[in-house]
C-alpha cells in the first residue's frame, strides 16, 4: 500500500471523480491554501451531453474528451491520479484506490451514476447504455456493423432484424439517439450500399411512461414526438420492456426482433454511498445537507449526480451538468472558506436556467424560463449552447466546423468500426 503524501501543513482535499462536479470543485479551490488530490479511474473528462454524437458517428471521441491532467495542469495545488477508488476508511480519513492510500481532511465525492437495468444486469451485454467514451465506441461499432452485415445477409428475415434499431428510454438521451440514428439511416448512408437501402431501417423508441421527455412541458414533448415520427421513428409509449436478448426486446404485448438495442433508461448511483455507509435514496444517491455535506460526516461532501438534493419546493434536483457544476463550485468555495477560516457560504441553491434536447438536424426543444423554442431556432440555440460549454477553443472550433459541414452535406466523418464485437451476427 502506497500512501500519497502532500504538504502536511495544509488541509488535504481528496476529490473522487473528474466529471463536471469534481472538476468544478477543484477549480473553485485554485487559490485556496489546500493540497488537492483528484482521482479518477479514467484519464479524461467526458462531455457526456454529446456522447450520442460519438455513438452515431457524427463526432470523434477526442472531440468531446480532454485529459483531466491537462485541464488542471496550470493549477499548482492539485495533483491528478488515475486510479479506481474501491473504498473509504471514514474513521482513519483515508481513501483506498488500488495500491494507493489517500489521506484527507476534506473529501468530495463526485463519482456520478451508472446505468440501471432494474435488476436485470444480464441485459447490459445485449443492450449497452451510453455513459462513457467506451460505451459510445461500442454502440457506434454495433450500429455501423449492423448495416455492414445486412449488406451481406442471405435472407430477408435476418436483414430486417439487422436493420431494426431499438432505443429503450424516452428521456433526452433516448430522443437524441433515436433522432440521430434516423438521420444516419435516412440521409448519411443512403447511397453507400448496393444490396440494402438503409432508409428502410426500422427505428423504434420505447418508453414505459405516458410521454417522452418527462422533464419538459407537455407541448414540447409532443413536438419532439411528432418531429421524431416525421423522421420515421416509431414511438411506443406506455411500453415497459420485460426482457432483452441478443435477438431483440420483448414487452407485455409484443416483441421486436433487433440486432441493435440501446439502453437509455434508468440510472443507479456509483457505490460511493456504501463506501461511507451514508443514507441514500432508492437509486443509491447520497442524501445531503443544505451545504451538500453528508449527515453526521461534516468533512465529506457530495457533488453532481451522486447527490440526492432538493430545491426549495422539495422537488429532487435533476441529474444534469449544470446541477453538477454548481454543486462542485459550491463545495469548492465552502472548503476554501473553511481553509481560510472564513464563515461558510449560505446553503446551496440551484439556479435552473433551462432544458434543452435535440431531435435531429433542424429540430430541438428548448425551455428557458417562459421562453420555449422549437424547430431550427431551437436547434441553433442548442448548437451554440453546446459549443459554448465545451472545453478549449480547439474543440469548440472543430465541433462548430464539423456540425456546419454535416449540416450542409449530411456527411458524418467518424464512421469507424474500431471495437471488436461479434454480437451483431447474421
Q: What residues are annotated to the active site?
A: 176
| Segment interacting with ligand FAD, rule: CB under 6 A, options 39-47, 155-163, 243-251, 397-405 | 39-47
Q: How far is CA 180 from the centre of its chain?
A: 16
Q: How many residues contact ligand FAD, by CB under 6 A?
A: 33
- Is residue 141 close enough to count as binding ligand FAD by CB under 6 A? no
Binding mask 290-329 for ligand FAD (x = CB under 6 A): --------------xxx------------xxxx-x-----
Among 12, 20, 28, 66, binds ligand FAD (CB under 6 A): 20
Beta strands 286-287 and 267-269 are unpaired
- Is residue 56 close enough to count as binding ligand FAD by CB under 6 A? no
Q: How far is the CB of 120 from ligand FAD (least distance, A)?
A: 19
Q: How far is the CB of 119 from ligand FAD (least distance, A)?
A: 20
Is residue 199 helix, strand or coil? helix
Distances (CA, A) of 266 to 169, 239, 278, 303: 8, 15, 22, 20
Q: How far is the CB of 99 from ligand FAD (least distance, A)?
A: 14
CB 402 within 8 A of CB 59: yes
Among 225, 270, 374, 395, binds ligand FAD (CB under 6 A): 270
What are residue 286's DSSP bridge partners? 280, 307
Is residue 167 helix, strand or coil? strand
- Is residue 39 close enough to count as binding ligand FAD by CB under 6 A? yes
Neighbours of 219 (CB within 10 A): 12
Which among 351, 389, 349, 353 has a CA at the least distance from the CA of 370?
Answer: 353
Measured from the CB atom, the residue of 163 and 288 that comes closer to ligand FAD is 288
- Is residue 72 close enough to count as binding ligand FAD by CB under 6 A? no
- Is residue 63 close enough to count as binding ligand FAD by CB under 6 A? no
Within positions 326 to 365, which residues make up the interface with ligand FAD, using CB under 6 A? none
Among 90, 126, 130, 166, binds ligand FAD (CB under 6 A): 130
Give the DSSP letter string of 115-150. Answer: E--TT-GGGGGTS-B-SSHHHHHHHHHHHHHHHHHH
How many alpha carbons lie under 13 Å from residue 382 in its C-beta half-sphere?
26
Which among 67, 49, 69 has a CA at the least distance from the CA of 59?
Answer: 49
- Is residue 169 close enough to count as binding ligand FAD by CB under 6 A? no
Q: Where do contacts with ligand FAD occur on this chain (CB under 6 A)?
A: 16-22, 39-42, 48-49, 51-52, 84-85, 110-112, 130-131, 172-173, 270, 304-306, 319-322, 324
Amino acid at each position: 500500500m502506497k500512501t500519497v503524501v502532500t504538504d502536511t501543513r495544509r488541509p488535504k482535499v481528496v476529490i473522487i471523480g473528474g466529471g463536471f462536479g469534481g472538476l468544478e470543485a477543484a477549480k473553485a479551490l485554485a487559490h485556496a491554501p489546500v493540497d488537492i488530490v483528484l482521482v479518477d479511474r479514467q484519464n479524461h473528462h467526458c462531455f457526456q451531453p454529446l456522447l450520442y454524437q460519438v455513438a452515431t458517428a457524427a463526432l470523434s471521441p477526442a472531440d468531446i474528451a480532454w485529459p483531466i491532467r491537462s485541464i488542471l495542469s496550470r493549477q499548482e495545488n492539485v495533483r491528478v491520479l488515475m486510479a479506481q477508488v474501491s473504498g473509504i476508511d471514514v474513521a482513519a480519513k483515508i481513501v483506498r484506490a488500488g495500491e494507493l492510500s489517500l489521506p484527507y481532511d476534506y473529501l468530495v465525492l463526485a463519482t456520478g451514476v451508472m446505468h440501471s437495468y432494474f435488476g436485470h444486469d444480464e441485459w447490459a451485454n445485449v443492450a449497452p447504455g451510453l455513459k462513457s467514451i467506451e460505451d459510445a465506441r461500442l454502440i457506434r461499432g454495433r450500429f455501423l456493423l449492423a448495416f455492414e452485415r445486412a449488406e451481406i445477409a442471405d435472407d430477408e428475415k435476418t436483414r430486417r432484424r439487422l436493420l431494426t434499431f431499438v432505443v429503450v428510454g424516452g428521456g433526452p438521451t433516448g430522443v437524441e439517439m433515436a433522432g440521430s440514428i434516423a438521420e444516419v439511416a435516412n440521409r448519411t448512408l443512403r447511397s453507400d450500399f448496393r444490396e440494402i437501402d438503409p432508409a428502410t431501417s426500422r427505428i423504434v423508441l420505447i418508453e414505459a411512461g405516458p410521454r417522452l421527455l418527462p422533464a419538459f412541458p407537455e407541448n414540447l414533448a409532443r413536438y419532439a414526438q411528432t418531429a421524431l415520427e416525421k423522421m420515421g421513428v416509431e414511438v411506443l409509449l406506455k411500453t415497459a420492456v420485460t426482457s432483452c436478448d441478443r435477438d431483440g426486446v420483448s414487452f407485455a404485448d409484443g416483441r421486436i426482433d433487433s440486432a441493435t438495442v440501446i439502453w437509455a433508461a434508468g440510472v443507479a448511483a456509483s457505490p460511493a454511498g456504501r463506501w461511507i455507509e451514508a443514507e441514500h435514496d432508492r437509486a443509491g444517491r447520497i442524501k445531503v445537507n443544505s451545504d451538500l455535506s453528508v449527515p453526521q460526516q461534516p468533512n465529506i461532501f457530495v457533488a453532481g449526480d451522486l447527490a440526492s438534493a432538493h430545491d426549495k419546493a422539495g422537488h429532487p434536483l435533476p441529474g444534469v451538468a449544470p446541477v453538477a457544476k454548481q454543486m462542485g463550485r459550491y463545495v469548492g468555495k465552502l472548503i476554501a472558506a473553511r481553509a481560510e477560516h472564513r464563515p461558510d457560504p449560505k446553503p446551496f441553491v440551484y439556479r435552473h436556467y433551462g432544458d434543452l434536447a435535440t431531435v435531429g438536424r433542424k429540430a430541438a426543444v428548448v425551455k428557458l424560463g417562459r421562453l420555449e423554442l422549437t424547430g431550427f431556432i431551437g436547434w441553433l440555440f442548442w448548437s451554440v449552447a453546446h459549443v459554448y460549454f465545451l472545453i478549449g477553443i480547439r474543440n469548440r472550433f472543430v465541433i462548430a466546423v464539423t456540425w456546419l459541414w454535416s449540416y450542409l452535406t449530411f456527411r458524418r466523418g467518424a464512421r469507424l468500426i474500431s471495437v471488436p464485437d461479434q454480437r451483431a451476427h447474421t
